[in-house]
Structure 1
Amino acid sequence: MADMFRGRVLWFGIAPSPEMRRELRNRRLAVTILAGAPAADQLVAACGAVFSFDASNIGPGSALARELAPALVDHGLRIEILATGDGVLGRAQKALGEVTRTRDVHARTAPEPHELPERLARHEPGPHPNTRLEIQLAGNREPISDHDIPLFQRAFYDCRKIVLSELGGGRSRARVFSVHATLENSVAGAWPQPFFVKLDSTDRIVKEAENYRSFAPFVPFGLRPSVHGCFLGATRGLLVGDFADKSEPLWDQVRRNVASLAISSLFETTLGGWREQAYAIDPVKGSVAVALEQANFCVPSQIKKSYLEYARTQDVRVTPDQLWTRIGALDQIYRKAPMHGDLHGENVRVRNGNAILIDFASVASGPLTADLAALETWFAFELPPEETRDEYENPKWRTVVDRLYAPASFLHPPDPSDPTSSYCWMVSAVRQIRRLGIAVQSCSSEYEAAVAVSLLRRCMWDDGCTADRFRRAHGYVVASRLIADLQNENGPPS
């Protein structure tokens, strides 16, 4: 589909004045007067919509705007709410409710004839949404919702078909896909390299796009996506970038016990540019836990108290608030640098030994040890897909984890695993990352504290399967043991 100019303005309510029509024509904008929902061809050709009120049409006009506004914004339109006076505008805004708080909705009273046309002309709605786009999902996955389809039609306006393969891993409500597209009328060919697509709330997509702009230049080219576009709707947004073709999740390599090269690549090369920034400034004095709370890595108030029931069976009776008070009082020194903030085995892809990031949603400034601790605990406490989901306790796994996370294992890495153990892969990954964590910490308690916070962070969710909840509950127990050890070692803050 050609990237055609979207020069139509959909007008609802009181008709525009002759002066405003002239100003619209001067900017190559054509007005279409409507009393109801626009036709598909009118919608995709439009750059904006105007709902114009006087005292006579507040009721029906606001009802129509409430019905149409989300879909108009999903298609890239800017919406203008016009009123003949301040009193009319106040009544209209009250009747419109949530519409006035929707992105790209703007309200004003009796503007000069040129003002509104100029704003609409400067708005960039993007290319015509491709309403003929064929969207297929690989595997038995949840379909794309109707109100998200216009975002895909805007992002892949020049394609005949896209095939979405959903990627897993994180705890957010975002959906992440690899996308194989078939282009329409491309001079280069039909099948470009695959894309990645992230579908999430508008605010989170905006934040992640900003993170890419700020932090991606510090990650080597080819080891992170190049973002092609950000397509925002009323409540949801779409981020589109390059996908690492012929790659696999780091999680798959870890479970095959062949991830050593990729883990080294991740921290030394892919994240190396971020981590080097820690040495451009002086170390920070304070609690690692407090720093991670400020980075929104762990929110203590969201730690689920449901895990206390299991903790009591392990002679742990301390509450989340008590644990956080204790770890937050530690007197520590740490170096600060950009951290990924949600590092796990599914948002790192591996190709030819190179680790490739595909998620920048949670990047923030934090302790240098945070990403190491987050990844280590994810590997140790995440439920592998091949293990049963409906059995609560797993004594064999618990025995291995208790050895790996004994307080003494933070003085030096834990001993190697029996090579015949079914959890040999987990021990290998934890030992490799633990060595890095101990090596880069700025005080003897830093890495142990970062691990304890990472385990408490996992307890912010309790909506997983039975086996997953057991692992998180035992993580709470392990975190309490580590915090008790840190408190004994650190003593009261000076």
Structure 2
Amino acid sequence: MAIREFSPEGVHRLKVAFFNELPEESIESRFKERGFVCIKCTESELTDPSFVSFLDAVVFSQRPEKRTGLNKVLETVPLLLNNDVRVYIRMASDPERTSGARDKVVDTLLRLQLPMANITPEEWSRIPDQRREREKAFLAPYVYLVDASADWSKITHVICDRPAGGTPNTAIKINGSDYLANGDLAIHRERLLLIQRAFHDCDELHVEPMIDGLSGAPVFKVYAKLQHAQGALPSNWPYLYFVKLGPRKTIADEYDKYVGRAIHHVPFHLGPRLRLGRCNLGTSQGILVGDFVEGAESIRDCASAGRAGHAIANLFDKTLGPWRKQAHHTKRSLKEYLGKKWLTKDGQEIALPPKRAEIVRQLGGIPDVAPLRKVFEQIGDHAGAICGPAHGDLHAANVLVRNGDAIIIDFEKMEDEFPMLYDPASLESGLVMDGFVRDKRAKNAPEELLELIRPLYTGNALIALTVPYHAANPASWLFDCAAQIRTLSRHAESTAGQYALVLALCLIRKGCNPDPFEPINENLRAISFVLGQSILLDLASMLTVQARTVCRNETCSERIA
């Protein structure tokens, strides 16, 4: 059992509210033994933030004679969940033993887009993909469905064993709160409540925005001044955290993967340290809070300055080592694992934005994805892949370097079973994309930059591992990094050329990112596409030559025979 301090303060919140039906006295006494007070509530009270914020839980009871009677009052649930109030719904018994009563409640919860727990596989499958969390996950707060067969004693244990967190600190002073603003007022209010819950034990916060990634979840530096608490060291010096706000599923998935996979495998000093007690979820939004990694720089900056050698070795040997040691051969091909990477979230084939397509033409490329996808599927279907746990989004901004150590962040896209080549290919393509953002050639002479690095991205170069370059080449840092990454990744190939294939996919995906960018980034994404295209066309040509050679050899053998 985890260490817990026994304190006269008891539970954070004391009141459990009941709508429609109070439990009998013997059950109330069980709540009292656990430090809770049972009260009856009305619908209007459940819309009052001052009333809701001090509740631990609300129990709604469905009446057999009026199965749709909860439909309207359940519209108060978002406010409850945003305040971390636990919500339970007791289903009415059905003499005909059908699921009709339960179905009406589930239909309402799905319509209101509320997170649910203790649901059946069929009910879970009805949740849209963009809101569907891990099956059988119990990441509170949620609406917990209590079957009609469950008695009050069981409900009592469930409620008392899952208490709410601290009451939102609405009095906390937030300097820089304008940075938290969101165009959607409802989302802004929910995120503000998440901040007040996460830092309920603080007097003051100072918020500074950080450069956002592409996930749609803004990240902030937050200096928090803690309240003086019993047993704690009094101090006016604020502690520095990172805070990530975003859609509930995005935050829940990343939290889930961090707790279930990263915390037990990534060495403590080589990954983010989440403050699990400060991470929270609401109805539609969520918040992650962790220790800010001070004194670090992105591997992009480290690499372009020629200082990434030790960090890259550390990344694959130490940081990702526990995952990479789980590598194993599978019968599934790269096509089976990575085929969906050629599609958008809507199931459409990825494509170059029109403006970027024109840049690709100017660079000598062909802005057509379909034939490239066909080449990938043909070559990628020939052999099984070596797989294991993978980060899934190891671009150059998700690897930080401090004193030679490589620290990985952002576990949102982590995969339990994925080609081991994907992470190194993502890193190399990320260095191509991000490593030249300060190079004037990327903005003013993209053709010149392309020619500087093109020798690295041919089929022969990728299979040969190293490519000679002139010491005066301003892109020499990329040649060094690429050679090191490819050497460290060779063991993850089941057949020669697989790394080249995955790298081509990563480069093409970066080129097809639909978001608009500054001109310099538009040029770099076009360059990435051209390089990925070049690799695939070279691989296709090499396979054609090999096939002809085999055919000639067979013909000669037949003649000799």
Give the shorter-chain TM-score range: 0.7 to 0.9
* Residue 210 in structure 1 maps to residue 262 in structure 2: no
Match of residue 375, structure 1, among 427, 430, 434: 427
User: Aligned partner of 1:98: which letter?
Assistant: R
Cα distance change, pair 416–215 in 1 and its aligned pair in 2 (3 A): same
Aligned ranges for residues 261-410 of structure 1 at < 5 Å? Answer: 261-278=310-327, 281=328, 283-284=329-330, 287-293=333-339, 299=343, 301=347, 303-307=349-353, 309-310=357-358, 311=360, 319-330=368-379, 331-332=382-383, 334-364=385-415, 365-382=417-434, 386=438, 394-410=446-462
Report the counterpart of residue 70 of structure 1 in structure 2: 78
Cα distance change, pair 202–346 in 1 and its aligned pair in 2 (3 A): same
Q: Is the 8 A contact 1:393 1:470 kept in 2?
A: no
- TM-score, L = length of structure 2: 0.74
Which 10-residue stretch deviates more, 213-222 or 78-87?
Answer: 78-87
1:373 CA displacement: 1.1
Report the counterpart of residue 102 of structure 1 in structure 2: 115
Quote the Cα distance in structure 2 between the aligned partners of 1:291 and 1:91: 39
Aligned ranges for residues 194-209 of structure 1 at < 5 Å? Answer: 194-209=240-255
Q: Which blocks of at least 5 consecutive residues in structure 1 are unaligned?
A: none
Deviations 1:186-238 (A, max 9, x none): 42243475333332333333332332222432222211123331422212222
Q: Is the 8 A contact 1:302 1:460 kept in 2?
A: no
Q: Is the 8 A contact 2:47 2:79 kept in 1?
A: no
Aligned-partner SS, 2:216: coil
Aligned ranges for residues 13-32 of structure 1 at < 5 Å? Answer: 14-16=20-22, 18-19=24-25, 21=28, 24-25=31-32, 27-30=34-37, 31-32=39-40
* Residue 242 in structure 1 maps to residue 281 in structure 2: no
Cα distance change, pair 322–116 in 1 and its aligned pair in 2 (3 A): same
Report the counterpart of residue 475 of structure 1 in structure 2: 528
Deviations 1:348-389 (A, max 9, x none): 222112111122222223233221111111111237654789
% identical equivalent positions:
25
Q: Is the 8 A contact 1:133 1:161 kept in 2?
A: yes
User: Aligned partner of 2:454: which letter?
Assistant: D
Which 10-residue stretch deviates more, 473-482 or 94-103?
Answer: 94-103
Q: Is the 8 A contact 1:63 1:96 kept in 2?
A: no
Report the counterpart of residue 274 of structure 2 in structure 1: 227
1:393 CA displacement: 7.5
Report the counterpart of residue 490 of structure 1 in structure 2: 543
Aligned ranges for residues 119-268 of structure 1 at < 5 Å? Answer: 119-137=158-176, 141-143=179-181, 145-168=188-211, 170-186=213-229, 187-190=232-235, 191=237, 194-212=240-258, 213-229=260-276, 230-268=279-317
Q: Is the 8 A contact 1:316 1:477 kept in 2?
A: yes
Quote the Cα distance in structure 2 between the aligned partners of 1:333 and 1:97: 40
Q: Is the 8 A contact 1:340 1:360 kept in 2?
A: yes
Deviations 1:385-421 (A, max 9, x none): 5478996973233333433323332123333355473
User: Aligned partner of 1:344: which letter?
Assistant: H
Quote the Cα distance in structure 2 between the aligned partners of 1:51 and 1:349: 48
Cα distance change, pair 42–385 in 1 and its aligned pair in 2 (3 A): farther
* Bigger radius of gyration: 2
1:314 CA displacement: 5.9
Quote the Cα distance in structure 2 between the aligned partners of 1:464 and 1:131: 38
Quote the Cα distance in structure 2 between the aligned partners of 1:219 and 1:390: 35
1:442 CA displacement: 4.0
Aligned-partner SS, 2:168: coil
Which 10-residue stretch deviates more, 401-410 or 365-374?
Answer: 401-410
Quote the Cα distance in structure 1 between the aligned partners of 2:252 and 2:146: 25
Q: Is the 8 A contact 2:352 2:511 kept in 1?
A: no
Quote the Cα distance in structure 2 between the aligned partners of 1:3 and 1:248: 43
User: Aligned partner of 1:228: which letter?
Assistant: R
User: Aligned partner of 1:373: which letter?
Assistant: A
Cα distance change, pair 181–390 in 1 and its aligned pair in 2 (3 A): same
Quote the Cα distance in structure 2 between the aligned partners of 1:11 and 1:252: 57
Aligned-partner SS, 2:41: strand
Report the counterpart of residue 555 of structure 2 in structure 1: none
Cα distance change, pair 58–173 in 1 and its aligned pair in 2 (3 A): same
Q: Which blocks of at least 5 consecutive residues in structure 2 are unaligned?
A: 1-8, 95-99, 117-141, 183-187, 551-561
1:488 CA displacement: 2.7
Report the counterpart of residue 5 of structure 2 in structure 1: none
Quote the Cα distance in structure 1 between the aligned partners of 2:244 and 2:532: 32
Which 10-residue stretch deviates more, 353-362 or 128-137?
Answer: 128-137
Aligned-partner SS, 2:72: helix
Aligned-partner SS, 1:239: strand
Structure number with higher relative contact order (C-alpha < 8 Å, ≥ 6 residues apart): 1
Deviations 1:292-318 (A, max 9, x none): 34xx76646455323574355666558
